[in-house]
């Protein structure tokens, strides 16, 4: 099963419901919106990892959303009845990662979602691996260069969120709202404590602070030195 959060932008109720059910049956969480306005709001607040984008939406053309999705470094799979070569190239050249023409078979959609997740995040549904850092989703086990690392629930949630959005800056507010329990009361100090402990356990070189914005894990770069045995 692939544990991801998918943003589905589709105004057709029957198709959208079928896609939503198929994704959920694979263990994915789905945020389903039906307009450009709701999609823009979701991009800012729902912390999704991958987008399925219809083009013919009631309040505009889905192509107009591509620049914003690329700025957010979100992988995009277009789902559209626009089937000419020119139309498909326009979507891909506009920033989409893949293009699936309607009508389609759900099995092919799921296969393309899995492939796009692997290309974008190195995520095969069970594990996320980056520069010697390995997170196993079903067992919640984490290791650094083969050395097991014990994390608290909050530390694990922070690490998983950053890994699944590698190369994307995650704002402090998103981490505080969606990761830490207990709402926003004292969230800033709490986040700092958890982030400091997480860095100490996995090694200082993985998580980069973007001052005044948030945090990011870069896919490229040298693997940091392993923390000592007492870390």
Angle between helices 187-202 and 153-164 (to 10 degrees): 80
pLDDT-derived band at 123, boundaries 50, 70, 90: low
Identify the residue with better confidence: 203 or 221. Answer: 203
132-145 per-position pLDDT tens digit: 999 987 788 999 99
Q: 174-183, 207-216, 221-230: which range is least confident on average?
A: 221-230
Domains and CATH numbers, the chain: 5-121 (3.40.50.2300), 127-217 (1.10.10.10)
153-199 per-position pLDDT tens digit: 889 888 988 887 788 888 888 788 766 655 554 556 788 899 999 99
Q: Give the total residue count for the chain.
A: 231
pLDDT-derived band at 90, boundaries 50, 70, 90: very high
Identify the residue with better confidence: 202 or 46. Answer: 202
The percent of residues above 90 in pLDDT, for the chain, comes to 56
Q: What is the pLDDT of residue 229?
A: 46
Task: Please state, rounded to an integer, the average pLDDT across all residues of the chain.
Answer: 86
Q: What is the pLDDT of residue 141?
A: 93
What SS3 class is residue 89?
A: helix
pLDDT-derived band at 228, boundaries 50, 70, 90: very low
The residues, ordered by sequence, that sit 6+ positions from 5 with a Cβ below 8 Å of its Cβ are: 28, 29, 30, 31, 46, 47, 48, 49, 50
What is the greatest pairwise CA distance in the chain?
60
Q: How far apart are CA 135 and CA 221, in angstroms?
A: 18
Q: Which two tokens stand for residue 82?
A: 């626009």
Q: Cα-Cα-Cα-Cα dihedral of 162, 166, 170, 175, to 10°? A: -10
Look at residue 122 and tell me whether its pLDDT is greater than 70. no
């Amino acid at each position: 099963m692939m544990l991801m959060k998918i943003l589905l932008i589709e105004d057709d109720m029957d198709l959208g419901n079928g896609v939503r059910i198929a994704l959920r049956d694979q263990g994915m969480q789905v945020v389903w919106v039906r307009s450009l306005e709701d999609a823009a709001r979701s991009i800012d607040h729902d912390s999704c990892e991958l987008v399925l984008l219809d083009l013919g939406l009631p309040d505009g053309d889905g192509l107009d959303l591509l620049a914003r999705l690329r700025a957010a470094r979100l992988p995009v799979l277009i789902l559209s009845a626009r089937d000419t070569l020119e139309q498909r190239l326009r979507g891909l050249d506009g920033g989409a990662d893949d293009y699936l023409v309607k009508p389609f078979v759900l099995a092919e959609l799921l296969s393309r979602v899995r492939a796009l997740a692997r290309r974008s995040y190195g995520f095969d549904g069970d594990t996320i691996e980056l520069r010697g850092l390995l997170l196993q989703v079903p067992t919640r086990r984490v290791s650094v260069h083969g050395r097991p690392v014990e994390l608290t629930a909050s530390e694990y949630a922070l690490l998983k969120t950053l890994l699944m959005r590698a190369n994307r800056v995650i704002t402090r507010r998103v981490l505080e709202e969606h990761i830490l329990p207990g709402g926003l009361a004292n969230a800033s100090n709490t986040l700092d404590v958890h982030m400091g402990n997480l860095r100490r356990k996995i090694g200082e070189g993985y998580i980069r602070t973007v001052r005044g914005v948030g945090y990011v894990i870069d896919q490229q770069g040298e693997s940091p030195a392993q923390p000592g045995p007492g870390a």
